[in-house]
Each structure stands twice: as C-alpha cells, then as structure tokens.
Amino acid sequence: MGSISQAKVGLVTGGASGMGLDVVENLVSKGWNIAIADFDVTLGESVASRLGSQVLFVKTNVVNYDEQVTAFAATYKKWGRINFVFANAGIGGKGDFYAQEEEVEGTGGPPKPNTLVMDVCATGVIYSSYLALHFFRKNKEGGGYLVMTASAAGLYPSGQIPLYGMAKHGVVGLARSMAQHLKSANEPISVNCVCPGVVPTRLMPQAWLDAMPSDMITPTSTVVKAIDGFLADQSITGQAAECSGQEVIYRDPPPPGNDVAAFMLGGTWATKMDIKSLMDHTKVRNAYYDKMEEDLVQSGTYGH
C-alpha cells in the first residue's frame, strides 16, 4: 500500500471531462486525493498531469466490472481509503428506438436494439455502487459518501430518449432504495443522486444548447454545489437533487397512492413472515434463475 495521508479520497467515474471533471477540480482544490476512472485515456492522462500528485488516472470502461475493480483497488492501494464515490460516467445512447427497421432475414423480427446506454448508465452505476459499499466498509474510520448521476430524465418522461430515461429512473430508484436500507441498518454511508437538466458537457448535442436560452441551461457549478452539500452533511441521504439552472432542489419520492400502498411500504408486516417458508421459496427461485443464466451464457448472450 502506498503512503497514507490524512487527506480524504474520492473516486469519480467519467471524471476526465464535464461534470465529473468539475467535481474533481473542486475537491482537489480542497485538498482531496482523487482517482479518475474514465474511458478516455487522452483526456484522463492530461487531467492527471495537469492536477499533479493528488490525482490518479485509471483507464476504465464502466461496463466492464473487472476494470472497475481495478480502479477501486488501485485507489485504495495508493491512498489507503475511499471516502467518496461519484458514479457519474454516462452516455447519451445511439440509434433511434422508434425507427422502423427491416426484418432480419430468417428471423421474422427486426435487429436487436442497441442498449449500450443501459449498460453504461445503469449497469455501470450498479457496479460502482456495489464496489463503493465494499471499499467504504474497509475504511478504518468507516463509512462514506456515494453520489450517482441520474438526470432530469430520471424524474420526468423523456420521449425522445426512452432508454436513457429508463436508465436514469433506475438510478434514482437505486439511490433511494440503498439509502433506505443503509440508514435502517445504521451504516454510516450516505447515498444520493443528482438529477441535472441541460448541462453543457460533451454528452449534450451542441444543437440542443444552441436552441436554448442561456438562462435555461444548467451550469456544472450547480452540480458541484449539490455534491458539496452532500459531503457537508452525512445525514442527508436518499435525496434526488434536481439541478435546474442555479437551484438545487431535493425531490421527494411520490407518496403512497392509498392505504394498501402505505401498508406495503410500511414494512411492519414483514416481521410476521415464516422465515423457513421464505428461505425455501428463495432456494427454489434461485435455482430457476441459475438455469436462466446458464441458458443465456450457453447462447452467448450473457456473461458473468
């Protein structure tokens, strides 16, 4: 393990540009050590060279779990802790989900839709969040701060980019659900997400930015402000922080629709469950899921 300082340590996926880079620069200016896990080697190495010894760059495709493990492990080995993870890497997707495609000869159906946006914006965030828990729990002082990048598309319908919207709704759900569980377990780990509107980053088409009045565009500084707020108070958890213009707005989850939903969400009924029956059910279901995974692996459409 490298020399351990008392400085706090963060890991930022997609930290070589855009919102991620602004968060990196902000924390470095406050004395943090930061690892950038990014797919763009040219940008990542340039940022690390410019910011100096407080920054470690690890080339990472967030869809590849093993590459994320390498980034987290390298960060922990170098500085002996990870206090903050910003699961930020994302893409806008490719292809038109609504396009009428020609059928593939001999199949009777169109070609498989491109789901890379789901892999990066949902699965990549799952991997980052899972690894964050592992390394936070290794910290001698315990605990940590996890922030995910969702989007306004995770709060509102986004008809033009449905798969992106699906992924970002999932990120909001993951952040809220993890926060609820960790808080009930009294673990000193906060989990939140940021939901920016239109932000001038490489992800955003210039045509979109040109079509909008400047005061309707959200600066990256608003996202930095939201994250500073999370890092200043670990009791803030489970928040979806909408970053809109200059404002950071904490958006509450929708209330239960009726008494049945309220009872289900209350969870007190769970204490009355027959644990043996539950475990038996889980064993049967897991065996079925194992068969499903094995079938997909054999067909070449799924990998562990």
Residues annotated as catalytic are 164, 168
Taking the C-alpha atoms of residue 50 and residue 84, their distance in angstroms, rounded to an integer, is: 22
Contact 236, 172 (CB under 8 A): no
Helices (H), 149-250: 162-184, 206-211, 220-232
CA atoms within 13 A on the CB side of 57: 22
Could you tell me the two tokens for 212? Answer: 């909008």
CA distances from 60 to 112, 118, 231 (A): 26, 17, 25
CA distances from 278 to 261, 264, 265, 284 (A): 22, 17, 19, 10
Residue recorded with tokens 């239960």: 256
Residue recorded with tokens 């996926």: 13
Q: What is the CA radius of gyration of the chain?
A: 21
Contact 16, 44 (CB under 8 A): yes
